[in-house]
């Protein structure tokens, strides 16, 4: 972009992809934001308020002076719990959130530091009637083990070495797969999965994960199985 885009240049763009959106099938929504994790959560809160949905927001930060967008939440402050760790220490998120679970189905949306997301997922992922979806600041893919990938349409098999992604290997062979983050966060490289035992390795644990897809930037085979992709 910096080197080649100029006035008159035509650029091709795909439609927006949202892997962290409001669950349309949920009766109740609980939003959990840690620090700058409020950025996507804010839009959700305002949209849920506009829809007159059942929702609550826990916003965790060091102090109000360092917490962004508080002014934007004034109109819905009765639904918002602001937790300043400098004054009150770290919150017992599980205890707070349990009080807000109601109705046949509740979705928890969490964005913030890895520790917060992992804690929420651990506490509620197996809770009946509760679904947890999250968005991470970043991911560090673990590209362990060597295995084979088969291209289902041609039958060609390629070896994926340890430390190298499936996406890297396929690109070297001229296979064109759209990508953006290369870290299992954005979902752009989603590819149909025909067979194979896989460690998905991505952070898309909510709206987009399906059993018959994988993300070549991070997916790995389990027990040296062969991953067969529909490409």
- In order, the DSSP letters of 50-61 are HHT-EEEEEEEE
Residues 6+ apart with CB under 8 A from 98: none
Which pLDDT score, from 0 to 100, does residue 140 have? 57
pLDDT in tens, 34-91: 998 999 999 999 999 999 999 999 999 988 998 999 999 999 999 999 999 989 988 9
Is the Cα dihedral 126, 183, 169, 223 positive or negative?
negative
Q: Write down the pLDDT at residue 2.
A: 83
Pairing of strands 157-160, 130-136: unpaired
CA 90 to CA 34: how far, in whole Å? 11
H/E stretch holding 39 reads helix 38-51
Please state whether the predicted TM-score (pTM) of the whole model is above 0.75: no
Asked if 28 contacts 105 with a C-beta cutoff of 8 angstroms, the reply is yes
Quick one: pLDDT at residue 45?
Answer: 97
Task: Identify the CA nearest to 21 among candidates 131, 101, 162, 177.
Answer: 131
Burial label for 53, CB within 10 Å (0-12, 13-18, 19+), is middle
Which pLDDT value is given to residue 98?
Answer: 94
Task: Give the dihedral of Cα atoms 44, 46, 85, 110; nearest 10 deg.
Answer: -10
* Predicted pLDDT of residue 155: 93
Q: DSSP 3-state helix, strand, coil percentages of the chain (rounded to 5)? A: 25, 25, 50
CA distance 27 to 17: 24
Given a cut of 70, the residues of the chain with pLDDT beneath it are 137-141, 204-210
- Which residues touch 217 (CB under 8 Å, ≥6 apart)? 141, 165, 166, 167, 179, 181, 182, 183, 184, 189
pLDDT at site 136: 73
Residue 75's pLDDT is 95
């Amino acid at each position: 972009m910096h080197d080649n885009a100029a006035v008159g240049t035509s650029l091709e763009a795909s439609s927006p992809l949202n892997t962290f959106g409001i669950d349309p099938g949920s009766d109740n929504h609980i939003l959990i934001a840690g620090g700058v994790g409020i950025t996507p959560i804010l839009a959700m809160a305002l949209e849920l308020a506009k829809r007159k949905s059942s929702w609550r927001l826990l916003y965790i930060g060091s102090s109000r002076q360092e917490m962004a967008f508080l002014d934007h939440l004034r109109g819905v402050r009765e639904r918002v719990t602001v937790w300043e760790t400098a004054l009150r220490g770290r919150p017992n998120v599980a205890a707070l959130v349990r009080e807000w679970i109601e109705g046949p189905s509740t979705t928890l949306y969490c964005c913030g530091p890895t520790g917060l997301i992992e804690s929420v997922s651990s506490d509620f992922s197996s809770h009946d009637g509760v679904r947890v979806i999250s968005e991470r600041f970043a991911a560090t893919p673990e590209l362990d083990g060597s295995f084979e990938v088969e291209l289902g349409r041609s039958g060609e098999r390629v070896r994926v070495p340890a430390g190298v992604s499936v996406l890297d290997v396929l690109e070297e062979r001229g296979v064109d797969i759209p990508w953006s983050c290369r870290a299992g966060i954005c979902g752009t490289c989603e590819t149909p999965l025909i067979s194979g035992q896989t460690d998905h390795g991505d952070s898309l644990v909510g709206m987009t994960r399906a059993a018959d897809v994988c993300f070549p930037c991070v997916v790995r085979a389990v027990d040296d199985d062969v991953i067969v992709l529909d490409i």
